[in-house]
Amino acid sequence: MVNHLNDMALFVEVVKARSFRGAAKAAGVPNSTLSRRITALEKAIGLRLLHRTTRRVEPTEAGQLYFDRCKRIVEEAGVAHEELGEMVTQPSGTLHMSLPVDFAIVWLGPLFPKFAERYPGIDFDLDLTPRNVDLISEPYDLAIRMAAPQADGLISRVIGRVRFKLFASPDYLEVNGIPAHPSDLSQHDCLTMPNLKTWHLQSKERGEAEVQVQGRFSVNSAGLLRHLTVQGMGILFMSEHVVADDLAAGRVERVLLGWEGESRPIHVVTESKLLPAKTQRFIEFLQEELALNE
């Protein structure tokens, strides 16, 4: 079918130019190739399409009918190709995404305006949830998760990484003292997440340490943990991006300088490797922006 469409386009050029030489120049193919393709087209159809003379090429009655039909088909195919090209460079449509609440607010909130300005044809339908949505049966283009997906058949890409560090407010440290080693954390109120009660820390100079932590607050929200840290309720183990404004304003400060957590990947999950342009552009955008913020 593809070859037939290509041959139809060549045939249209020949009729328009009334010459094999002129058509070959317009199509950018050798004259011999053009002649061979038109002959093959006539054999495939079973009818002579062109009267050939030394001076001019004219369509036969069947050739004229075929030209009238082919011209519209070739023109529509050209328009379709141009429109698809525009979709790739300036994609449109609604991007349906499932995002973790804190990641969406802290990381993506500041980035959405930039992406929206770059691609004005894209609208956004965002579902902020920690739930592992079913990308096969539910209408999502992608999901972003801090852990790799467990379901079979899904495609996961690492689009960025975060590294946790330790923070506390000056008031907390004044009252409770400043830890000098990760082992000291067991004597402090630590602000934890329900699934993160063991903190793994690394130091280029001093190796690795693993400490079981405890505290009065166990919260599955980075935003709330940040507020509790500012209010002096304990030591936080979190990406610096979450507390960047508080760190700059002096509301919190680094604890145990030189010690930090291992690099954690951020995953974007899709149902297939073959993605529409709107989805592909967003993934590329996140890879670019998140790399700048590592």
Q: How confident is the model at residue 3 (pLDDT cuts 50, 70, 90)?
A: low
**Taking residues 33-60, what's their average pLDDT?**
88
Per-residue pLDDT band at 164 (split at 50, 70, 90): very high
Reported as half-sphere exposure (CB side, CA atoms, 13 A), residue 265 has a value of 10
Model pLDDT, residue 162 = 86
CA distance readout (Å), 143 to 127, 172, 231: 9, 37, 33
Torsions phi, psi of 158, nearest 5?
-85, 120
Give the integer Cα–Cα distance in Å for 169 and 157: 36
For residues 64 and 18, the answer to whether their CB atoms sit within 8 Å is no
C-alpha–C-alpha distance, residues 292 and 288, integer Å: 7
pLDDT at 2 over 80: no
Mean pLDDT of 196-217: 90
Residue ranges in 142-212 assigned as alpha helix (H): 170-176
Supply the pLDDT for residue 23. Answer: 86
Assess contact for 177 and 255: CB atoms under 8 A.
no
173 falls in which pLDDT band (50, 70, 90)?
very high
Mean pLDDT, residues 224-243 taken together: 93
Write b or e for each residue in 170-186: b if 16 or more Cβ atoms lie within 10 A of its Cβ, otherwise e. Answer: eebbeeeeebeebeebe
Q: CA torsion sign, 78 to 84 to 89 to 91?
A: positive
User: Which amino acid, one-letter code, is at 204?
Assistant: K
Domains of the chain: 2-89 (1.10.10.10), 91-294 (3.40.190.290)
What is the predicted pLDDT for the residue at 282?
A: 93
User: Rounded distance, CA 51 to CA 72, Å?
Assistant: 22
On the question of pLDDT at 236 being above 90, the answer is: yes
Residues 6+ apart with CB under 8 A from 204: 258
The dihedral built from the CA positions of residue 170, 175, 179 and 184, taken in this order, carries a sign that is negative
Nearest to 50, CA basis, from 58, 61, 62, 42: 58
pLDDT band at 292 (very low <50, low <70, confident <90, very high): low
Interval 112-144: pLDDT, tens: 999 999 999 999 999 887 777 766 667 788 888
CA distances, 245 to each of 17, 101, 107 (Å):
68, 19, 13
| pTM to 2 decimal places | 0.65
CA dist 269 and 114 (Å) reads 22
Percentage of the residues of the chain whose pLDDT score is greater than 70: 91
Q: What mean pLDDT is predicted for residues 184-189? A: 93
Kindly tell me if the per-residue pLDDT of 73 is higher than 90: no
Higher pLDDT, 229 or 77: 229
With b for 16 or more beta-carbon neighbours within 10 A and e for fewer, the 18-39 pattern comes to ebbeebbeebebeeeebbebbe
Max mean pLDDT range (6-20, 79-93, 172-186):
172-186
Phi, psi of 153, deg, nearest 5:
90, -5
